[in-house]
Chains A and B, each alone.
Chain A
Amino acid sequence: MRLEGLGRRFGAHWALKDVAFEVAPGTIQGVIGRSGAGKSTLFRCLATLDRPDAGALFFDGLALSGLRPAALRAARRQIGTIFQQLHLLSSRTAAENVALPLELAGGSGAAVQGRVEELLRWVGLTDRGAHHPRELSGGERQRVAIARALATSPRLLLCDEPTSALDPETTGIVLELLGRARAELGVTVILISHDLAAVRQLADRVAVLEAGRLVLEAPVDEVLTPAGVLRGREGRALG
């Protein structure tokens, strides 16, 4: 994924301006910033939910904003997305939620069922597949969302605040799963979060947003101390 001079405007206000960095395949890229720094706007652009007003977004060498609808839908299937609010379908069971991207891609029958069982096993929810989201704990719902995002074997996993509102133990499980997604499945991960400790634990490189602009993009060690505090600006609260 490569961002070139990315900008997004709401009226006269630029929520994102001239944001440029590249995420190398197989790495985990953290994106941090205070509330209102543009993290959510960036997430929506990366998930192709919003069209940038300036610059371009390249995925696998393709300019996403120039793609025709069918090609854009095909590209979206290569990007697994985990929303902050998860957005699991309440009318579907956990297994049916995981199956959804596969059904949308035209899959059916035993192939879908086999893949769903494999993914539920991978996230440790083998025995919870028949339950609806409201019957699952917050951590279990988060794991269903991860399984769903990985269903079509995407090359990029896009996560918006995946550990918000989770207890420390569940946060650990979610971060471990994201780490395993990279290590075992070779997925590139973009982790947008205000949880600096989580980003410190997982990311290879970190982009720092401030008032819609990219103020720093560097290896995690240069951006955050081992305790998860911004280097050179210790004590400063983000988020």
Chain B
Amino acid sequence: MSRMDELIALLLPATGETLLMVAVPTALSCALGLVVGVVLVATEPGGLVPASILHRALGALVNVTRSVPFIILMVAIVPLTRLLVGTSIGTLAAMVPLVVAAIPYVARLVETGLKEVPQGITDALIAMGATPFQIIRHGWLSEAWPALIRGATLTAISLVSYSAMAGAVGGGGLGDLAVRYGYQRMRTDVMLATVLVLLVLVQGLQFLGERLASRLDRR
């Protein structure tokens, strides 16, 4: 087996694992973070459905989760990971802390995006007789769509970085490959190839996300 063949044989499965560790947590955290972000904005004082206790509790939970460094969070929630997927090692197990870490991140991005929607849009929908749910759906989410796409892109890019960290402690993927071959076995070619793949991945995500957001932006 030539060196190139060996490199490809190492990179392909690792890239697949990284893509899995980015795609699934991005989808799950965007779905759950969207709900948390909407609830945060809707329940704030003077908001659509003010509920200060819920708003403060949720805000505190988001802040606490965001304050914990990912590497610590990953270890701290091992019992939860075992409970949910039956193991704390491997790609599947790495996805649990990735989702937990990304939800509050997405929630704050959603919150920022929704707050960019002019108050006048909410007023117009209220004046039309819309229910709170209709205001969120037809006003907030429709108008904030480009910002939400940009937020999802940022999340996916952050998860590429987090997934490399998760890989270093048994999650697999490109991070694991870079540590085992690039660092421990001093295989500079593997290290460089891993960095190159990660670079392409991040650039690709940024390009696609920005293009989609610009296409949807009608302001």
Contact = CB atoms under 8 A, between A and B. Distances in A.
B8 interface: no
Nearest to A50: B123
Contacts of A75: 129
A87 interface: yes
Interface in A41-80: 47-49, 73-77, 79
Interface in B98-124: 118, 120-121, 123-124
B127 A73 contact: no
Interface string A65-100: 000000001111101010101010111100000001
Contacts of A77: 128-129
A238 interface: no
Given A83-B123, A87-B120, A134-B219, A104 B142 contact: no
A104 B128 contact: yes
Contact of B127 (A74, A81, A105): A81
Nearest to B130: A104
B140 to A, nearest CB: 11
Interface string B120-151: 11011111111100100011001101000000
Contacts, number: 66
Interface string B12-56: 000000000000000000000000000000000000000000000
B125 A90 contact: no
A90 B120 CA distance: 12
Contacts of B134: 104
Contacts of B124: 81, 83, 87
Contacts of A5: none
A133 B219 CA distance: 8
A128 interface: no
Nearest to A91: B142
A103 B218 contact: no
A75 B126 CA distance: 11
Interface residues of A, number: 26
A132 interface: yes
Contacts of B125: 100, 104
Given A89-B121, A89-B143, A90-B218, A47 B128 contact: no
Output the residue of B125, B129, B139 with the most chain A CB within 10 A. Answer: B129
A48 B130 CA distance: 13
| Nearest 3 interchain pairs by C-beta | A76-B129, A87-B124, A87-B120
Interface of B: 118, 120-121, 123-131, 134, 138-139, 142-143, 145, 216, 218-219
21 contacts: A47-B127, A48-B127, A49-B123, A73-B130, A76-B129, A77-B129, A81-B124, A81-B127, A83-B124, A85-B118, A87-B118, A87-B120, A87-B124, A90-B218, A90-B219, A91-B216, A100-B128, A104-B125, A104-B130, A105-B129, A152-B128
Interface of A: 47-49, 73-77, 79, 81, 83, 85, 87, 89-92, 100-101, 103-105, 132-134, 152
